[in-house]
């Protein structure tokens, strides 16, 4: 079965502090993993995907197959990073399996 | 930059009524999806559609649901007889020509369905 977990519903950090949003998955094959972000009153937007190994808005995520994790990190949080973050897995089919989401709140 | 659009933004209906949610995917995309998000819960896959037929569907997508691409641009989700538990945000998404697992899915802004 395909499953994505994000253990933190809410994460609050101060501006300039490092951020790590956790994502773990279960999938028996080789997963494709994504992070989507939803800013207030906006649509879900792709933040990054593991296959492209790029950094968007200072965020990075590394796929760790041993720990079945795809944690999202940023060294210095900005107030504009406040949003809902969803980890998603594309496994057997074309559909995405989403995690429950983590609300990141960056305090001034 | 092209975007997926959805109408209406908010739909209120009585239990037992039929509703049609509309989506206009990105014009050169060939794969289309519907997801829903019940308030406070995670985004859940409903159905994917390619080449004028359903390619995958979840357990949620029962006989009360149907999808259609009635013309070259619209992609609709119909709920035949709405139930209270159908109240949710419904997201349409589309992805590019390859339909590969690595394809990015682009999401619409969502339609909030409220069933009374």
Per-residue model confidence (pLDDT) at position B98: 62
pLDDT surpassing 90 at residue A15? yes
CA dist A91 and A64 (Å) reads: 16
| Residue in A closest to B38 by C-alpha | A100
Tens-place pLDDT, residues B105-115: 899 999 999 99
> What average pLDDT score do residues B53-82 get?
93
CA dist A99 and A9 (Å) reads: 10
Residue with token string 């197959």 = A65
CA-based nearest distance A96→chain B, Å:
7
Place B1 in a pLDDT band, splitting at 50, 70 and 90: confident
Q: Which two tokens stand for residue B98?
A: 């390859």
Per-residue model confidence (pLDDT) at position A7: 95
CA dist B26 and A105 (Å) reads: 32
pLDDT surpassing 80 at residue B72? no
Strands (DSSP E) contained in chain B are: 5-7, 10-13, 19-24, 31-37, 43-50, 53-57, 65-68, 75-79, 88-95, 106-107, 111-115
Tens-place pLDDT, residues A60-78: 998 898 999 999 999 999 9
Classify the C-alpha dihedral A59-A32-B23-B31 as positive or negative: positive
Tens-place pLDDT, residues B13-22: 999 999 999 9
> What average pLDDT score do residues A79-98 get?
88
The answer to whether the Cβ–Cβ distance between A99 and B42 falls below 8 Å is: yes
The answer to whether the Cβ–Cβ distance between B104 and A51 falls below 8 Å is: no
CA dist B30 and B3 (Å) reads: 14
CA-based nearest distance A22→chain B, Å:
16
Per-residue model confidence (pLDDT) at position A79: 96
> Which residue among A42, A44, A94 places its CB closest to the CB of B56?
A94
Closest CA to B47 of B37, B60, B38: B60
B105 contacts on A by Cβ (under 8 Å): 46, 96
């Amino acid at each position: 079965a395909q499953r994505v977990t994000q253990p933190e519903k809410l994460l609050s950090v101060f501006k300039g502090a490092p951020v790590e949003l956790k994502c773990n998955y279960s999938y028996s094959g080789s997963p494709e993993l994504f992070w989507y972000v939803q800013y207030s009153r906006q649509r879900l937007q792709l933040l990054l995907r593991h296959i492209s190994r790029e950094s968007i808005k200072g965020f990075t995520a590394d796929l760790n197959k041993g720990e079945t994790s795809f944690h999202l990190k940023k060294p210095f949080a900005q107030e504009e990073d406040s949003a809902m973050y969803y980890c998603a897995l594309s496994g057997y089919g074309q559909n995405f399996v989403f995690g429950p989401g983590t609300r990141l709140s960056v305090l001034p | 930059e092209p975007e997926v659009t959805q109408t209406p933004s908010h739909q209120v209906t009585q239990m037992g009524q039929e509703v049609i949610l509309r989506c206009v995917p990105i014009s050169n995309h060939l794969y289309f999806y519907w997801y829903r998000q019940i308030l406070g819960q995670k985004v859940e896959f409903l159905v994917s559609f390619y080449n004028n037929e359903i390619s995958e569907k979840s357990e949620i997508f029962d006989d009360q649901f149907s999808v259609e691409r009635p013309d070259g641009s619209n992609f609709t989700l119909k709920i035949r007889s709405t139930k209270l538990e159908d109240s949710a945000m419904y997201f349409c998404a589309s992805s590019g020509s390859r339909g590969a697992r690595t394809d990015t899915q682009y999401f619409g802004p969502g339609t909030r369905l409220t069933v009374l």
